[in-house]
Amino acid sequence: MYVVHETCTLYGCQVTGDRLTKATVAECALRLADAEGVEAVTIRRLAKEQGVTPMALYWHFKNKDELLLGIVDHALATVRADPAAGDPWQKRLRTVFEAVVAVMREHPSLPTLLHAVDKTQTESFSRATNDTLALLSDAGFTVEEGYWIATHLLNAAMGLVAGEPGWCPPGMASEDAAEWRRQKRLRMSLLPADRFPMMIEYAASVGDVPDVDRYYAFCVDLIIAGVEAMAASR
Amino acid sequence: MYVVHETCTLYGCQVTGDRLTKATVAECALRLADAEGVEAVTIRRLAKEQGVTPMALYWHFKNKDELLLGIVDHALATVRADPAAGDPWQKRLRTVFEAVVAVMREHPSLPTLLHAVDKTQTESFSRATNDTLALLSDAGFTVEEGYWIATHLLNAAMGLVAGEPGWCPPGMASEDAAEWRRQKRLRMSLLPADRFPMMIEYAASVGDVPDVDRYYAFCVDLIIAGVEAMAASR
DNA sequence: ACCTGAACACCGTTCAAGT
DNA sequence: ACCTGAACACCGTTCAAGT
């Protein structure tokens, strides 16, 4: 089931007439990923967007993995959560966590991209983890525990955004999106009622427009609460 | 950088001489994914393993997405956590969560597979979510909150196993694995000391053989603690 | 019902060559 | 230094045909 790409949606990166740079390619790729999904980011497609031959990209990136790494680093570089140093660690942790969630909400392809690369190779990951580690050290955790927690928090943020209620495939028109959600809810309510009563009850409880704010508020609390509880228990 | 596959490691699924079935294909694919990574699971490779033409698989699965769905459902079907109904919800939640973590540890490709498919289409997901929802209802959560929590727990389990300390690429010999970990730790300790002091401290604190049991014990507590804290706060 | 053969539109990547 | 052209080994998938 292939879609033959005759037309080529341009993400406004080649109009500058400039030569390619790591930054412009990463920016273009990020837009493409957000708009059409990470699977749309291929070397060949990206080259087409930039008005260039596929092999041109190999001058700037060693291979596709490096390209993806470049996108992640580019996107994460914008995260700047400098909480007031005087605040208690709980508040600072929440601030940095919310900042990470915020970038991912701006760039919905980020969770998938982060799964596809070895994040430890990016500078932004090192920075964020280092800062979080310092913070968690104030909370009384060992570095090892802190690293486990920091990893868990990043992963939780990724899952949080990827699992946002009402999510639908990238590049879908908003009318179609509503219908898509309706279909999904309907399919769930068609499950065998004797074996999946709670699923059906859930499907019935879901409104037409999901309450995204309540979702994030609740889940952020849930995730932070775990860390606070662990800190309290030592 | 392609590896030309001249030899073909067989995963012992075609020796039966039987015809293909969904179950045997899924089983073979799961073994392959666990041994060589999810990216090794291609229609063509799988066909070769089964001693059959690629198109033969299309009789049993509509397309690759359905095949991946089949693998996930096959793997998750083995999860059977029937906790004593009399136990408090905290204990039952922990039991089911640990059961999910256990299957993923047995099948390290599962987290990646679960990311690649729409889990809501599998029966095993519906069953697990339904049971967890009932449990969380006992804890005083609404169905909506319960669904958010259940989703978060599944995601956390995936991240937990995928982020296991000492993890290394599938199919790596254990001597190479030790060297691989050493290299990783070394790279981290080579970060600029002024900007990433905590990362360096962490790298120094990591032993040669990671304490996997402590990792899982701590992280399971961390994740469960979040749910308990939220339940207590209403 | 179950599987094969040949073909098509994609992929990432290498290597030699152009400016 | 930066990019192109042609080629190679892969991919998923369709469609007609075989038993």
The 10s digit of each residue's pLDDT in A35-71 is 999 999 999 999 999 999 999 999 999 999 999 999 9
**Domain CATH for B31:** 1.10.10
Q: Are residues B12 and B50 in the same domain?
A: yes
Q: Are residues B138 and B201 in the same domain?
A: no
Query: CA B228 – C1' C8 distance (Å)?
Result: 56
Structure tokens at A195: 């074996």
What local confidence, expressed as pLDDT, does residue A13 receive? 57
Cβ of A205 within 8 Å of Cβ of B151? The answer is no
Gap from A215 CA to chain B (nearest CA, Å): 7
The domain of A108 spans 76-165+212-232
Structure tokens at A23: 């930054």
Q: Are residues A223 and A160 in the same domain?
A: yes
Q: Are residues B102 and B159 in the same domain?
A: yes
Q: Which residue is nearest to nucleotide D3 (CA to C1')?
A: A56
Long-range contacts of B90-99 (CB under 8 A, 24+ apart): B90/B139, B90/B224, B90/B228, B92/B135, B93/B132, B93/B135, B93/B136, B93/B139, B93/B224, B93/B227, B94/B220, B94/B224, B96/B128, B96/B131, B96/B132, B96/B135, B97/B153, B97/B157, B97/B220, B97/B223, B97/B224, B98/B220
The average pLDDT across B8-25 equals: 72
What local confidence, expressed as pLDDT, does residue B84 receive? 76
The answer to whether B191 CB sits below 7 Å from nucleic acid chain C is no
Q: Are residues B27 and B113 in the same domain?
A: no
The answer to whether B20 CB sits below 7 Å from nucleic acid chain C is yes
- Phi and psi for A137 in degrees, rounded to 5? -65, -40
The average pLDDT across A95-116 equals: 98
Q: Are residues A126 and A158 in the same domain?
A: yes
Query: CA A42 – C1' C14 distance (Å)?
Result: 18
What local confidence, expressed as pLDDT, does residue A10 receive? 63
Does residue B104 sit within a domain? yes
CB pairs A-B closer than 8 Å:
151
**Domain CATH for B107:** 1.10.357
What local confidence, expressed as pLDDT, does residue B12 receive? 52
Does residue B71 sit within a domain? no
CA distance B58 to B234: 51
The average pLDDT across A168-187 equals: 94
pLDDT beyond 60 at B13? no
| Band (A211; pLDDT cuts 50, 70, 90) | very high
pLDDT beyond 60 at A140? yes
Average pLDDT of every residue of chain A: 93
pLDDT beyond 80 at A7? no
Does residue B36 sit within a domain? yes
CB A162 within 8 A of CB A116: no
CB A115 within 8 A of CB B188: no
Does residue A70 sit within a domain? no
More confident residue, B75 or B208: B75
Q: Are residues B123 and B199 in the same domain?
A: no
The answer to whether A53 CB sits below 7 Å from nucleic acid chain C is no
Residue after which a domain boundary falls, among A36, A62, A88: A62
Q: Are residues A181 and A157 in the same domain?
A: no
pLDDT beyond 70 at A9? no
Query: CA A189 – C1' C14 distance (Å)?
Result: 53
Structure tokens at B190: 């080579």
The answer to whether B22 CB sits below 7 Å from nucleic acid chain C is no
Structure tokens at B148: 């958010």
DSSP state of A19: P
The average pLDDT across B32-51 equals: 98
Does residue A3 sit within a domain? no
Q: Are residues B142 and B219 in the same domain?
A: yes
Does residue A67 sit within a domain? no
**Amino acid in the structure at residue A6:** E
CB B143 within 8 A of CB B136: no
pLDDT in tens, B118-164: 999 999 999 999 999 999 999 999 999 999 999 999 999 999 999 99
| Band (A4; pLDDT cuts 50, 70, 90) | very low
What local confidence, expressed as pLDDT, does residue A5 receive? 40
The answer to whether A62 CB sits below 7 Å from nucleic acid chain D is no
The average pLDDT across B6-24 equals: 67
| Band (A160; pLDDT cuts 50, 70, 90) | very high
| Residue of chain B whose alpha carbon sits nearest to that of A193 | B130
Domain count, chain B: 3
Does residue A131 sit within a domain? yes
Cβ of B143 within 8 Å of Cβ of A1? The answer is no
Q: Are residues A144 and A185 in the same domain?
A: no
Does residue B69 sit within a domain? no
Identify the CA nearest to A149 among candidates A131, A132, A170, A169: A132
Q: Are residues B20 and B131 in the same domain?
A: no
The answer to whether A41 CB sits below 7 Å from nucleic acid chain D is no
CB B78 within 8 A of CB B124: no
Strand D bases, protein C-beta under 7 A = 2-6, 9-16
pLDDT in tens, A66-89: 999 999 999 999 888 777 779 999
Q: Are residues B87 and B152 in the same domain?
A: yes
What local confidence, expressed as pLDDT, does residue A82 receive? 78
pLDDT beyond 70 at B37? yes
pLDDT beyond 70 at A127? yes
- Predicted TM-score (pTM) of this structure: 0.94
Taking contacts as CB-CB distances below 8 angstroms, the residues of chain B near A233 are: 225
Structure tokens at A144: 């090892």
Scanning B175-234 for CB atoms below 8 A from A yields: 184, 188, 191, 195-199, 201-202, 205-206, 215, 218-219, 221-230, 233
Question: Alpha helix locations (H) across B107-173?
Answer: 110-116, 123-138, 143-162
